Amino acid sequence: MDSYLVAILTVAGIYLILALALNLQFGLTGLINFGVVGFYGLGAYASGIATETFHAPFLAGLLAALIIGAIAGALVALLSLRLSGDFLAIVTLGFAETIRLVFNNEDWLTHGPSGFIIVTRPVIAGLSRTATSWMVLGVILLAALLVLLLMMRLADTPYGRVLRAVREDDLVPATLGKNIFMYRLQAFVLGSAIMAGTGSLYAHYVQTITPDNFTTPVAILVWMSVIVGGAGNMKGTVLGALAVVFIYEGTRFIGPWLTMLDAEQISALRFIIIGVALILMIRFRPEGLLPEAYQRPAEAASRITPSKG
């Protein structure tokens, strides 16, 4: 049971970092990134290839993941940031799908669907199994804490306020002389690099990665964490990620009760529950469990001045 709890917490930490990065892009800046799993997977493979194929230490792998994630984020952003929001969404989705095809097909690099094995661990070698898993959990939670503090700090600075202004209305910061494109680019690149870094942590935690680790269900869980917690609120994301992981892992236990269902059906049922919950959340409580404390300029204005006649 202990090891199961450690595993859940580790996974929760990974989802939390991904969700925080997405919250920077979507919650603060309003950029719709449906390619979360693309950056995440890219980081995982980059780090794995650095440490296994090139025998680099773990930190070099993590660094490689961050750099490659940033470059990929910049490329995707340059391609699509000038377009309107839904086109960015489509391009990011395309990026994730294409990247997954690369993982699947370039056997020489990624070993394809059979899986890429990663021996290097993010902790000192030679410890017992249990100790190692606790240490890995520690590393991931520490990373999550660092990212959380960074994001909370960022959200409170003038920089964070400009990002919010970019999200609410492109015209306002433009009239203030801010280069909106640069702000969007920076937020997108930082978020993508963090996602890729998370991929590195994940790869060295699970030790075998396959292209199937980086598919839509993961993206749905990350998006749900941000929406459930409250877009724009970093503390909300912590709550959201925990809630989502516990719902997701919790529904694992419905299996034994529903003996007439096979494993395939139970897995499908869990995804149905998650998907329906996400739709209900957006439908009935779009501001999330912990709404952002910031008052949107449009709403604030509508409360003061009545509509023109």
Partner 1 sequence: MIQMIINTLASAAIVAPAAVAFTLVFTLFRYANFAVGGFVTVGAFAAWTINVPLGCPLWVAGLGAMVVCASAFALSDRLVFRALRGRSGGTLLLVSIALSFVLENIMRFIYGAQMKGFDLPLTGPITIWDVRITRETVAVVSVSLLAILVVGAILILTPIGRALRAVADNPSLASVRGLPVPSVEVFGIAVAGAMLGLSGTLVGVDLSIDPNLNWAVTIPIIAAAIVGGLGSPIGAAAGAILIGAAEELTVAFLAPTYKGAVGFAVIALVLILRPQGLLGDKVDRK
Partner 2 sequence: MTLLVLKDLRAGYGASDIVHGVNLELVPGKMIALVGPNGAGKSTLLKSIAGVANVTGGVLELDGKNLIPLQPSGRAQAGAVFMPQERNVFRTLSVSENLAVSAWGCRDIAARRDEVLTLLPTIRDYLRKRAGGLSGGQRQMVGLGMALMSRPRVLLVDEPTAGLSPLLVGEMLDTLRQLAASANLGILIVEQNARAALQRADRALVLVDGRVVRQGDAAALADEPDFGALFFGEAA
Question: Where along the sequence are the contacts to partner 1 (CB under 8 A)?
Answer: 26, 30, 32, 34, 79-80, 83-87, 89-91, 93-95, 97-98, 101, 104-105, 216-217, 220, 223, 227, 262, 264-265, 267-269, 271-272, 275-276, 278-279, 282-283, 286
Q: Which does 81 bind (CB under 5 to 8 A by kind): partner 2, partner 1, none?
A: none
Smallest gap from Cβ 62 to partner 1, in A, equals: 28
CA distances from 243 to 139, 195, 231 (A): 21, 20, 15
The closest alpha carbon to 154, from 29, 37, 285, belongs to 29
Applying CB under 8 A, which residues contact partner 2? 302, 306-309
The closest alpha carbon to 32, from 170, 178, 162, 188, belongs to 188
Smallest gap from Cβ 1 to partner 1, in A, equals: 29
Smallest gap from Cβ 156 to partner 1, in A, equals: 25
Q: Which is nearer to partner 2, 55 or 308 (CB)?
A: 308
Q: Which does 141 bind (CB under 5 to 8 A by kind): partner 2, partner 1, none?
A: none
* DSSP characters over 107-127: HHHH-GGG-EE----SS-TT-
Residues 52, 11: Cα–Cα separation, whole Å: 23
Q: Which is nearer to partner 1, 264 or 299 (CB)?
A: 264
CA distances from 297 to 78, 82, 172, 211 (A): 28, 23, 10, 43
Q: Which is nearer to partner 2, 177 or 309 (CB)?
A: 309
Q: Which is nearer to partner 1, 1 or 298 (CB)?
A: 298
Residues 184, 56: Cα–Cα separation, whole Å: 33
Smallest gap from Cβ 139 to partner 1, in A, equals: 31
Q: Which is nearer to partner 2, 250 or 297 (CB)?
A: 297
The closest alpha carbon to 249, from 1, 13, 8, 2, belongs to 8
Residue 125, both tokens:
């070698």
Smallest gap from Cβ 298 to partner 2, in A, equals: 13
